[in-house]
Amino acid sequence: MKRKCMILALCLILAACSSQPGSNSSAGVTTVSGGSAGEAAESAGETETSKTVDPSQIPSASADIFAMDTYMTVTCYGKRAEEAVAAAQAEIERLDDLLSIGKAESEISRINRDGSGVMSEDTNTMVTEALRLYDTTGGAFDITVYPLMDLWGFTTGKFAVPDAQELSALLAQCGSDKLTVNGDTIMLAEGQGIDLGGIAKGYTSGHLMEIFEEYDLVGAVVSLGGNVQCYRTKTDGSLWRCGIQDPQDPENGSAYLGVVSVADRAVITSGAYESYFVDEATGKTYHHILDPKTGYPAESGLLSVTVVSTDGMLADGLSTSCYVMGLEQSAEYWRNYGADFDLILMDENGEVYVTEPLSGQFTSDYKVHVISQEGIS
């Protein structure tokens, strides 16, 4: 068996963020400068900042961090860039200690061990959002699948195809509707466990944006395991250009399904290529995005889901949810709830789909279909 984890090429983020000619990355999403996936992406225009400030004179600072079981990069621009990076790193480490299921004394581990507990403000916020997503997605997002993830070996690296009866027994205990939440207190049903990993990195990157406000930065970008969130614009006033990994060629860090240009947005991708194993007995590949209804890896017809939003936590949760739901359900979900997010999807046929409000900011060498309120064209 083998596992593949998409790890960010940290040097790329630094090159791209400085607005100098950059290279490419193997992450799910990374910032890029110039080059492929359509030269039309150069239309991400300049603002007045680029006319009044010399980008080379703006101080910058950066830190590489390993937390939440992934590699992260924080890069800030402005007079207080070093202070902002230090504050961001401290916050990442604090949230990692709070949320990690790999740390026995974390709040989540304690709740899982005790079956109940009093939640911190951070945990309560994430659980509240998780329950909302569980409800609005019809159960496609479910923080109680943790025991199933453990059974498959995705939490430990000890991969194995579960016994059908054992999986069925665990599946019967799952369901966020079985959780009892009263104020800041949570109680799990018998046999349940929770994991906030599906929204924790998005919550963290969003929280860092609030921290950056305190330091009056010109701009900043954070990459948490390939999840990118941008603060303001690049130092020359132009939009950040975020390249989305091509799931049909995940080994090639320079292969993008497209580039989206943004400011003050999170760009978060989920795909089966990020973590998987191959069963030695059958040769079948099993990926880590489980369908909470079946307990097996989702077979929705999608290869990749990217969510763009001002809300990192929402984008993180929906990237998983929409992967489980598939194209048609995701499009309908966007029509009903899409005021705060947009989608970029690739299906198993290599067809790319983008929601209409984002279509002018997205370029691709693939043929792109537009999802609108009226349908898909």
CA 270/CA 176 separation, integer angstroms = 21
Strand order in the sheet with 227-232: 60-67, 70-77, 219-224, 227-232, 266-271, 302-309, 341-347, 352-355, 368-371
- Domain presence at residue 5: no
**Residue of 334, 337, 316, 340 whose CA lies nearest to 370:** 334
Flag residues of the chain having pLDDT under 50: 1-27, 35-51
Which of 172, 197, 222 is a domain's end point? 197
In a shared domain, residues 133 and 169 = yes
- Domain total for the chain? 2
Its domain, for residue 162, covers 107-197
Each residue of 297-354: pLDDT tens digit?
Answer: 999 999 999 999 999 999 999 999 999 999 999 999 999 999 999 999 999 999 999 9
In a shared domain, residues 331 and 245 = yes
**Looking at the whole model, is its pTM more than 0.75?**
yes
In a shared domain, residues 82 and 203 = yes
What does the pLDDT read at residue 205? 97
- Domain presence at residue 3: no
Which of 181, 197, 213 is a domain's end point? 197
Q: How many CA atoms lie within 13 A of 14 on its CB side?
A: 10
In a shared domain, residues 146 and 19 = no
What does the pLDDT read at residue 234? 95
In a shared domain, residues 193 and 252 = no
**Residue of 363, 369, 257, 296 whose CA lies nearest to 39:** 363
In a shared domain, residues 112 and 243 = no
In a shared domain, residues 210 and 143 = no
In a shared domain, residues 55 and 161 = no
Which of 148, 182, 197 is a domain's end point? 197
What does the pLDDT read at residue 14? 31
In a shared domain, residues 272 and 143 = no
What does the pLDDT read at residue 7? 28
Three-state SS at 356: helix
Q: Looking at residue 305, which CATH number applies to its domain?
A: 3.10.520.10
